[in-house]
Structure formats: C-alpha cells, structure tokens
Amino acid sequence: MAIIVKDSVFTIHTKQSTYQMKVDEQKTLLHTYYGPRADETDFSYLIGFLDRGFCGNVPGTERERVYSLDYLPQEYSTEGSGDYRISALRAQLGSGACDCRLVFDSYRILSEKYYLAGLPAAFDTANEKVQTLEIVLKDVQEAFYVHLLYGVFEEHDVITRAVRIENRMEHSAELLKVMSFGIDFAHSGYDLLHFHGKHMGERQLERGRLMHGITELRSTRGASSHQKNPFVILAEEETTERQGLCYGFALLYSGGFRLQAEVDPFDQTRLVMGLDDEDFRWVLPPKESFIAPETVMCCSSEGLSGLSHALHDTVMEHIIRSPWKSKRRPILVNSWEAAHFDFDRKKILAIAAEAADLGLDMLVLDDGWFGRRDSDDSGLGDWFVNEKKLGGTLKGLVEEIHGMGLSFGLWVEPEMVSEDSDLYRAHPDWAMTIPGREPIRGRQQLVLDMGRDDVIEYLYGRLSDIIDSADIDYIKWDMNRSLAAGYSARLPKERQGEVRHRFVLGVYRLLELLLQSHPGLLIEGCSGGGGRYDMGMLYYCPQIWCSDNTDAIERLRIQYGTSFGYPLSTISAHVSTSPNHQNGRTTPFKTRGICAMQGTFGYELDLSKLAPEEKEQAAEQIRFYKEHYELFQFGRYYRLSSPFARGNYTAWEFADAEKREAIVSVVFTDLHANPKTDIVFLCGLQNDRRYRMYLDGQMQGTYTGAALMNAGIRLPIPKENYDAYQFYLKEEV
C-alpha cells in the first residue's frame, strides 16, 4: 500500500521514497519526514519541545511554554498563528487581520488521482494506479476549511500536492497568499539549484548554499517568465549527477509564481511555492472554493540524473496529454528568420519547395499572415487571413503545400491586441488598461483580459474557423510581453487582485476548448521563446519553443538547464543561419544540427540561401534524425558534462531503455594549441555487452559497456572553432 494511516500518523511510500505527517495532541498537522524509503515508524520522535524565547505559545500550552508553531515542523503553515517564518497561507476570515490557524479535521483515501477543475494536473493512466490522500484542516474558530491533496505516483517516486480552500462561513473570506505546498526539513545545509535567465538566455543553472534567512525566487510578470522558472532542486552538498540525495519541486502553473526558502534560527529549512501574491487578493464568498495549482515533488537518492529521469517519465506519462507525445513529430522549417514580415505567396511556396526537396515534414508560416500586419505595431487581434498578402485564400496556399508532401502550421498570439487593430477599436474595454491612465505597453501591444467570457468566445471562434478552413496541423502559440498593471473592466475595484490568476485560467480554458474540438492539433508553446516553459503549459502543449536565441553555443546552456526538469522531447530546437541573427556568432552547420537534435528538430532559416554542401549536410541531418527518432525522443538522457564548467566541451547522451544503442554528442567550446586528451565517460549501457562505435558514420571499434562507462572514450581533436562530433553505439549481436 502506498498510503498507510495508523495512530494519527500518515505515511506515503513511493518506490524509493517516504513522506510522513502526524496529527499531534494540539491537532496540528506536523511534517515528520521526507527522504529515502523508510518504514512506518513515527518519526515525530525526532522533534524536540523546548522553551524557546520569543516563540509564542498556542492557546492552552502557555504554562509549559514548550509548544510553539514558531519552530515546529508543519505541513501547511499560516500567517497569524504565532509562526514568524514564511507561511503557506495568508487569509483574513473576518476580523480584518490575518487570523487563520489550522487544525486537523478529517481525512480520506481515494483509489484514483484527484482532479483540479480549470487547472492542469498530473493524471492517472490505465497502467499505473494512483492513490489520493486528502487531509482536511479547519480554522480553530471559523468554518473555513483547507483541503490538502496528495497524489501518489508510486512507480515514479513522485507525489503531487494541491490545495482547495473552502469557505463555509456566512461571510466572505479574503485570500492574500495561497501556496500550493509547504514542507519543513529538520536540517539545513542544502544547496538550492534554480534556473534564472532573461529573454534569449533562459534557464541558466545556478547552485548555491541556502543561508540563514529567506531566499526568494519570483515572477511578477503574469507568466512563469524568462527570468525565473517554477522548478527548483534542493540537494545535499555532496550530491552530483550520479549520486547523492536531492529533491525536485515543480509548479504546474503558467502565471506568476513565488518560491520562498527559509533557514530558521534552529537550522531547520522550510520551502513554500505557489501563486505570486504581490498583487493577489481573492475574495472568497460563502459556499465557494478556491483551488491552488498543483506541485510535483520528487525525491532521488541517485543524484541529479535520477531526479531528472523520474521527472521526465512523469511529464511524459502523466502530464502531457497530447497524442503527439508518442507520435513522430514533424521536422519543420519556420518562416520567421527566413522572411520575418516580408513575404508573399511566391516566397512561402519557394521555402516549401526547398523543404520538400530536403525531406522536411512541415512548413510553419510565422507572424504576418493576418489582418494588417506588416510590422509588430498593428494587427494583433484581427484574426482574419490577409488574402491580398497571401495572393489568395489560406486554404489554397495550404493545398499547394500539402501537394508538395508537407503539412502546414501557423503562428498565433491570441492573448494580445494592438491598439491599431479593428478589434481594439471595437472593444477597447477588452484590453487590460486602467481607466484614465496611459497603458503600459510592451512590444507596442496590450494584453487582452483573458478572464472575460466574451474574449474567450471571440478567440475560440476565430481560431477554430481558421484551423477548420485550411486543414491546419500545427499552431505555434506565442505571448510576447509581460503583464503590467493588470485591470479588468468586468470586475469591481475590490476584486482587481484576482485579475492575473483569472487571466491564466482563461488561457487554460481557451487551450482546452481548442484541443477538445481539435484533438489532433499539435500546439507548440512559446512566449518570446522560453518565457512560459513550465509543466502547466506542457499539459496542453507537448513541446515549447525553448528560446528565441537560436545560437547553437548559447543553446548548450539553455537546453542543459531545461533538461533538469523537462524531457528533451519537449524542447523545440532548430538550426538557424550563421552568423547568428541574435549574437552574430559563426558556427559550423554540422554543429548547429547536432545541437538542434537535442530536442524536437527543425530549421529556422531561408533554405534557398544554403550553399550546396550545406544542403547536403541538412539532408543528411534530417535522414539521421529520422532514422534514430525513437532514440532522440524517447531515449534516456544523460548530461555527460556541463557547459557551465570550465571545460573544453559539452557532451550529452541518449540511450535506449534496453541498453542496446546510444548516441553521444559533443560540442567543443574552446580551442588550444598542443591540446590535451579529453575523455568522456558514457552512461546507460550494459557492462557485459559489446558495442560497435561509429563516429560520423565511420566504424571506430568494438568495446564493452564496462569499458565505455568506466574508462570512457577519447574525443577527437577539434578541427575548427566550435567543432562537434556525434558517436553512435550499437550492441554487437
């Protein structure tokens, strides 16, 4: 059994981890253990009760002075309860002050995964039975209930957590901070691994020791953002890729978020994560509930690789719903870097013809095909085909491209509106602008109020009509600015604190409507590249444009950081032109191809401008990727070296589950005269099997798995700046 309840102790087991809570004599739900698999021992014996100065006591315990929520490990902490540490919940229940203190009320165990209405959440499958533990906490005085939900994915060592808040009072409550989970560790000394960044430089790994006090990661931008990512790792100091204890925490939410970690005066560590609460104020009327987003938690005793593998499997099997997760995805060319806004029918058909000749599968027409859209200053919101620019109907264009053997996709940015658009002129109140104030603009565009039913109905109608009219196979869904000064003309002033969360719920609703009516549609997520790369978006989109930065060398760091929490098949990566449009770097065509094969493969350039030898290389890249598609998309991924280390190269590997074949890719990032010998150690092979090793198609020799993993392979000397190599290993039979 995964969930065991005995003597007020709740123990959750996964394959290799154990999570435990206990209801104590004061009816407080204490957190007692999370770590490697143990048994049902009551671990509350590890908690010491002391008279600690300036730590207030819970009513009824004042005389002994040893019971204080200010130092006890709790499962879900509240502000105003006498706990001065970071809290998971801040609520006003009627007094005007934060006056909530939660005690245990009830529990139940379900033989299925809980469901979150309107929000993405991990789901059960026919192959793995998932249990739910629901623990209900209640305010000590008011009829205010907090339902803590735990989904147990035993085989993947994953526990999901979510919170549902229920108001049974006669008056409204105000929620000012709602975290999706809180957890207390009895120790300090953990390293925090997080993934900071910027536009065109997302998910840069940073590792540092949590110090006393509060460490905070936060997005206030209305999206999970380029700058921060809602996924972090806690690791012991000695934890490496291959060994050591670590924990992963990922929020399934695509809006602003807040993560806080605190090391308290007694060397205990608390972590909370949930909705960004900077501008959050949710009025919860009587008989209504509020649902906080889900969090995925994972504990690994097998280092960072073990953690990543468990999370990758969970995302692929229990978060991504699209049928495309198990289908062969199209290798595409996107028109943006080839044409930007400057195109006509002839140019698009020429790109398509080149793509067909090279063996590509799809052409994607990026920005500029709709409304009056010849720059990014106008047209957003007018989702009507510009037939003058396309030289005819979209259906006619798509039919010609289908005739070349290619499928067809379109770029859209549904959540935004240009002031110079027919939509804005007709419905200025649909934009999120504060009355009487000049709006905050980004990229010369405003944000639509996605919390409005009429906005969702308009967008669904227009997008559905376009998809249906021309047999569209793929949508690239973009979002090219952050939210600022969010305001809804539909809400009274006392409820403006709900706007940002309602915006995200509206985005999810629109995506759900489109996917329900077009179940075979492949949607690629995008927000100026990787500004909304999170597990919440992966619930709707099986792949996400990883970054607007297509430079192969900078992508090494971006894709490396992304790989810690997200499967490589979710990373959309393309070969672009050289010198690169973003940073001017010149890299070999071969290197650009090898880097792009780290994700869902494609091209982002004008194919007609490729030199003959580059076209030959492109055709070979496409052939090689198609031949080994299963390995690239579904193989076990290993980080063999880090682009953040001061080394000469970055290397990674895909190995199949049966350990019969592998592909090892190496990109050199530094050159030296009289160079040393570089050796890389492989992973995921069978010690006693023999493998034939090929380098760029040429047989190099036969070696045992033990030799390749323990002694390694010697890397070739790079022949030019940013040279790259690809090894293919196949079991000898």
Domains plus CATH for the chain? 3-319 (2.70.98.60), 327-416+455-477+519-634 (3.20.20.70), 639-731 (2.60.40.1180)
Q: 61: pLDDT confidence band, cut at 50, 70 and 90?
A: confident
In this structure, what token pair is assigned to residue 290?
């509020």
Q: Which of 14-23, 312-321, 668-677 has the lowest mean pLDDT?
A: 668-677
User: Can you tell me the distance from the alpha carbon of 329 to that of 549, in angstroms, rounded to the nearest whole number?
Assistant: 22
Asked whether the predicted pLDDT for residue 644 surpasses 80, the reply is yes
Contact 310, 45 (CB under 8 A): no
User: Can you tell me the distance from the alpha carbon of 145 to that of 486, in angstroms, rounded to the nearest whole number?
Assistant: 29
381: left (phi over 0), alpha (psi -120 to 50) or beta: left
Render pLDDT for 431-449 as a digit per residue (tens, 0 to 9).
Answer: 999 999 999 999 999 999 9
Q: 187: pLDDT confidence band, cut at 50, 70 and 90?
A: very high
Start-to-end CA span in the chain (Å): 42
Render pLDDT for 136-186 as a digit per residue (tens, 0 to 9).
Answer: 999 999 999 999 999 999 999 999 999 999 999 999 999 999 999 999 999
Torsion of CA 687, 302, 557, 416, to 10 degrees: 130
| Residues with catalytic roles | 534, 614
Render pLDDT for 332-360 as a digit per residue (tens, 0 to 9).
Answer: 999 998 899 999 999 999 999 999 999 99
Q: DSSP labels for 353-413?
A: HHHHHHT--EEEE-S-SBSS-SSTTS-TT--SB-HHHHTS-HHHHHHHHHHTT-EEEEEE-
Contacts of 646 (CB under 8 A, 6+ apart): none
Among candidate residues 419, 367, 363, 412, the one with its CA nearest the CA of residue 389: 367
Identify the bridge partners of residue 333 per DSSP, sorted by sequence position: 363, 603
Contact 83, 39 (CB under 8 A): no
Contact 672, 718 (CB under 8 A): no
Render pLDDT for 672-693 as a digit per residue (tens, 0 to 9).
Answer: 999 999 999 999 999 999 999 9
The pairing of strands 690-695 and 362-365 is unpaired
Number of helices followed by number of strands (H, E) in the chain: 14, 37
Asked whether the predicted pLDDT for residue 64 surpasses 90, the reply is no
Q: 128: pLDDT confidence band, cut at 50, 70 and 90?
A: confident
Asked whether the predicted pLDDT for residue 127 surpasses 80, the reply is no
Whether residue 519 has a cis bond before it, omega within 30° of 0: no
pLDDT of residue 646: 81
203: left (phi over 0), alpha (psi -120 to 50) or beta: left
User: Can you tell me the distance from the alpha carbon of 589 to that of 618, in angstroms, rounded to the nearest whole number?
Assistant: 8
pLDDT of residue 684: 97
Contacts of 606 (CB under 8 A, 6+ apart): 337, 338, 339, 351, 577
Q: 597: pLDDT confidence band, cut at 50, 70 and 90?
A: very high
Q: What are phi and psi of 15, to 5 degrees?
A: -55, -40
User: Can you tell me the distance from the alpha carbon of 227 to that of 217, in angstroms, rounded to the nearest whole number?
Assistant: 10
Render pLDDT for 190-205 as a digit per residue (tens, 0 to 9).
Answer: 999 999 999 999 999 9
CB atoms within 10 A of CB 327: 12
> For a pLDDT cut of 70, what percent of the chain falls above it?
100
Contact 184, 163 (CB under 8 A): no
